[in-house]
Amino acid sequence: MNQVYLILALHNHQPVGNFNHVFEEACSRAYQPFLETLEKYPRIRIVVHYSGSLLEWLYTHKPNLFEKLRSLVKRGQVEVLGGGFYEPIMVMLPERDRLRQIHTYSHWLKDHLGVDVRGIWLAERVWEQSLVRSLRNAGIEYTVVDDSHFKHAGLEEEELDGYFLTEDEGEILKIFPASEHLRYCIPFENPEKTLNHLRQLGQRRENALVVYADDGEKFGGWPKTFKHVYEDGWLENFFSTLQAQGDWLKLITFSEAVERFSPRGKIYLPDASYREMMEWALPVKGIFQYEEVSHALGGQPWAHLARRFIKGGCWRNFRVKYPEAYQMYARMLEVSKKIASLDRSSEIFLPAEKELHKAQCNDAYWHGIFGGLYLPHLRTAIFRHLLTAETLADSHPKTSLETLDYDLDTKKEVKISNPMINAYFKPERGGHLYELDYKPRAVNLLNTLSRREEAYHRKVLSQKETGEGAGIKSIHELAPRIEEGLKEILFYDTYQRESLIDHFFQRSASLKDFANGQILQLGDFLTAPYQPRAEERADRIILGMERSGSLLQGQEGLPLKVKKRVEVDHLNPVILIAYSIENLSRRTLESSFGVEFNFSMSSGDAPGRYYLLKDETPAGHLALEATFTSQKKISLVDEGLGLRVSLEWNPPCDVWVLPIHTVSQSESGFEKVYQGSTLLLKWNITLEPASTWGTEIRKEIKEVKPL
């Protein structure tokens, strides 16, 4: 039997902004029992990567466990991989932030664990060839990606052991392929299945080297795995089985491998991630087609050859699939430029940069089998750190008016800031207000998410609620748990859930029609371009936007002009809004006119989240769906955020309120997630020829005693 070498690499991560109880549970069910088991088997050597957000938490909250890790590193049983400090997708970052994320984490690991970082874990194994230069400039010698990356480049399964050299602009990086086969075996199959795979590899090649690299949460943190891995003894059995193969199987680390072996060859890899990620990055229709092709391949004798050349999407296209992710990304770049402009010797540079780096944590920028972008608390954390970084950089905030292409679509947006708020307006998209930041609490009150179709919604519509399914399987194979009642809320939006959204619709339309996304728009104002005109006065900034469009009356579209004016003074978290609607036709126009506001609150129905009407009467929690008739004021109170947002207007009107609930996918199954609350101020208007109707709205943010 030829000698076979095995690298076991585990990646442990909890995102910035995750709940403390999630850190605790992952620690007690996965990280701690794994290290305690490993400690019993000193001949088992592994490689670990902990994201900086997790390792900082362990250092502070679990010092004994951190010391256990340090002792395992010190005795040479564990090699530590570096990475971006707060687990960014490297290709998402400007080059300066790539280098700084890697450098700062390498220094932290040196200071706290005494390691000299040579290799790096790439978040979600997202690879682009330009990373070679970035990693080498950061002092990194090697990394690991999935073997699917190599297969997409044309290599076959039997060629994928050892490591390869890859190059960009003369810089050379060592890169290891990690076995997808082992990723699905460990820890779900009997250890003997892993041994059989390794024996077969050893029969083909002398000194074969194979890599297992995947999430450490699989060992106790994923559904059903704690009992399987620890209570039923899988991990101890696995380690014992590996130790018993000492005559032909040796566990080594990445650093040992590059010292002991020559590279297998040279390779240039295509842009890629692991197979499942590339499927998730496709648009919904593309996922359906991908699944259809994959299924059709299954019955072909040459399927194993063809699969190498079937590649899904590109990670960057999550920003196309989810416009909210794109806006968050664009906002991150804006703040990154501000931090980069600071004097590095100033006392605010490092704290501001750290906040920026936390805001670059990858999880909230995409969505697959994990909640990711769909989890409001993760998006909230991104904006909290972005706004904190920005506040540090703007040490002397002042009122300002800027017109730039903030969201990178070649169209200019308008940003109005004073010491208390930032307000971003999109004239090109209905004149919407798409971001509203309250700086003292570092909160974006428009951190919303629209309801949109997902490929997995077919399972919600077609499957009975089956639970998690039988057996111990990878999270990618588990039968999902389907929360009760999801089919009844599965509706989709045709526009982004922002504010100052102008609706014209039939008077007979109902709240249910609006909630279900089934209102017929009579006007062409919802997302169409408005013409902006901004001016800066001594005590305030004024943004005027107008559109000459049409209103459907019967079968004819009649001319109509909508003007809206926004005023922000130099000191207060108050926005004054005025609407003017002018009938340009020779006929009387009748319609319901609604102005939609959306707010991202911390919860819909938790204690301390509720509506107040004008007389301060509580009117129900924020996940309420209701109509309040003939009102002039309403407030949303979120004691979790410590904020109250009030709208006051004249003339009186009916108010429709409803929650934004998405049906999303996570490791626990399909579930309803509260994304925010929608308010629609609704007037029935009648306009005689050449007449004008108007309203004024005052929007104010106040602090309340937090929970």
Rounded to an integer, what distance in angstroms lies between the CA atom of residue 60 and that of residue 583? 64
The runs of H, that is alpha helices, within 341-424 are: 349-359, 376-393
Tokens of 393: 């950089």
Q: What is the C-alpha end-to-end distance of the chain, expressed in Å?
A: 65
| Domains delineated in the chain | 4-271 (3.20.110.20), 314-396 (no CATH), 457-703 (2.70.98.10)
- Name the residues annotated as catalytic: 124, 215
3: its two tokens: 């000698």
Phi, psi of 25 (to 5 degrees): -65, -45
* C-alpha to C-alpha distance for 108 and 72, rounded to whole angstroms: 18
What are the DSSP E strand ranges found in 570-625? 574-583, 589-599, 609-613, 618-621
Determine how many CB atoms are found less than 10 A away from the CB of residue 557.
15
pLDDT digits (tens, 9 = 90+) for 256-290: 999 999 999 999 999 999 999 999 999 999 999 99
pLDDT at 31: 98
Q: What are phi and psi of 662, to 5 degrees?
A: -105, 155
Spell out the residues 6+ positions from residue 59 whose beta carbon is closer than 8 angstroms to its own: 66, 112
Q: Which residues in the chain show pLDDT less than 70? A: 463-480
What is the C-alpha to C-alpha distance for residues 55 and 64, in angstroms, rounded to an integer?
A: 13
Tokens of residue 267, six digits: 């390779």
β-strand partners of 611? 636
Q: Residue-wise over 655-679: b if at least 16 C-beta within 10 A, else e?
A: bbbbbbbbbbbbebbbbbbbbbbbb
138 with 240: CB under 8 angstroms? no
Measure Cα distances from 18 to 23, 61, 300, 359 in Å: 7, 15, 44, 13
- HEC per residue, 487-541: HHHCCCCCCCCCECEEEEECCCCCHHHHHCCCCCCCECCCCCCCEEEEEECCCEE
- What is the spatial distance between Cα 447 and Cα 643, in angstroms, rounded to a whole number? 15
Asked if residues 57 and 19 have their Cβ atoms less than 8 Å apart, the reply is no
Give this prediction's pTM.
0.95
Separation between Cα atoms, residue 425 and residue 446, nearest integer Å = 12
Mind listing the pLDDT tens digit for each residue in 558-581?
Answer: 999 999 999 999 999 999 999 999
* Chain centroid offset of residue 138 CA: 26
Nearest-5° Cα angle at 572, 571 to 577: 120
Which pair of structure tokens corresponds to residue 138?
């950061």
- Residue 299 is encoded by which pair of tokens? 């019955």
What is the structure's pLDDT at 23? 97
CB 351 within 8 A of CB 258: no
- Predicted confidence at residue 64, as pLDDT, reads 97
pLDDT, position 476 = 53
Question: Is-cis flag, bond preceding 706, omega within 30?
Answer: no
Q: Identify the CA nearest to 115 among candidates 77, 71, 79, 141.
A: 79
For residues 176 and 164, give the distance between their C-alpha atoms in angstroms, rounded to a whole number: 6
Q: Is 273 exposed, middle or buried (0-12, 13-18, 19+ CB in 10 A)?
A: buried
Helix, strand, or coil here: 204?
A: helix
Q: Tokens for 630?
A: 């003939």
CB atoms within 10 A of CB 158: 11
* 126's tokens: 């997202």
